[in-house]
Amino acid sequence: MCEELKTAKGRTGRREDYELSPPRMIHILSHVMKRSSGLPQEVEGLTPMQGHVLKYILIMTMQKELYQRDIEEEFLIRRPTATGILQLLEKNGFIRRENVSKDARLKRIVPTERAEELRPMILEKIKAQNEKLVEGIPKEQLDCCMAVLGQMLRNLLSMDDKNDTDKNSRRT
């Protein structure tokens, strides 16, 4: 067993014979990242998911126009879930939705001034967390890790696609 796994096992406070599986390690890493990358305390009343969506909006609107379908695709959520999150962000004054001249059905998501004030702090926190996350990891190992994580994601998404296909075939 590699030394990194032994160290991780000791830090989780679990029994020594507890084997960390890839899903468990990903869950622990995700939990620690979410806990340490939250929005500032001034932003009360948002759920963690709303906070993640707001951060995504603030980052992506620097590069391109953003629409609800972008949120759905990025977070792998369905339309009603995305609608609820965006409605609450709008109600709390973090975003507004604007009509798009080229397609009346589309509404562009735009951060408000209240949200824009948070952008520099959020970008700095993300940068610091990313630097800390990969600290001491050689580029070759990081590239390998990213390839493995990408394949794991593709594996799970293909399983979801198969389940969706199976459900649809049972309905007909």
- Residues 61 and 112 grouped into a single domain: yes
Burial class of 58 by CB neighbour count within 10 A (0 to 12, 13 to 18, 19+): buried
- 47 and 117 inside one domain: yes
Query: What share of the chain in percent tops pLDDT 90?
Result: 47
Residues 110 and 95 sit within 8 Å (Cβ to Cβ): yes
Same domain, 160 and 100: no
On average, the pLDDT of the chain sits at: 83
Q: Which domain holds residue 78?
A: 43-123
Tens of pLDDT, residues 76-86: 999 999 999 99
Residue 17 lies in a domain: no
Q: How many Cβ atoms sit within 10 Å of the Cβ of residue 86?
A: 21
Contact 115, 54 (CB under 8 A): yes
18 part of a folded domain: no
Q: Residues 16-64: pLDDT tens digits? A: 435 678 888 888 888 888 777 666 655 667 888 888 899 999 999 999 9
Q: What is the mean pLDDT of residues 73-95?
A: 94
* Residues 50, 111 within the same domain: yes
Residue matched to tokens 């695709």 = 73
DSSP 8-state class, residue 93: T
| pLDDT higher at 66 or 122 | 66
36 assigned to some structural domain: no
Looking at beta carbons, which pairs linking 91-96 to residues 24 or more positions away fall under 8 Å? 92/45, 92/46, 94/46, 94/54, 94/57, 95/54, 95/57
In a domain, 23, yes or no: no
Q: Note whether 55 and 118 are same-domain residues.
A: yes
| pTM recorded for the entire structure | 0.69
Helix (H) or strand (E) holding 139: helix 139-171
The count of domains in the chain is 2
* pLDDT tops 80 at residue 11: no
**Is residue 117 assigned to a domain?**
yes
115 shares its domain with 150: no
Query: Which segment of 9-13, 19-23, 85-89, 160-164 scores lowest on mean pLDDT?
Result: 9-13
Is 68 contained in some domain? Answer: yes
> For the residues of 8-70, what is the DSSP string, one character each?
HHHHHT--TT----HHHHHHHHHHHHHHHSPPPTTSTT--HHHHHHHHHHHHHTTTS-EEHHH
Any bridge partners for residue 109, and if so which? 66, 97
| Residues 68, 116 within the same domain | yes
Q: Is there a single domain that holds both residue 82 and residue 114? A: yes
Indicate whether 5 belongs to any domain: no
Contact criterion met (CB below 8 Å) for 12 and 28? yes
Average pLDDT estimate for 120-144 = 92
Residues 79 and 149 in one domain: no
User: Residue 117: what pLDDT?
Assistant: 92
Co-location of 114 and 157 in the same domain: no
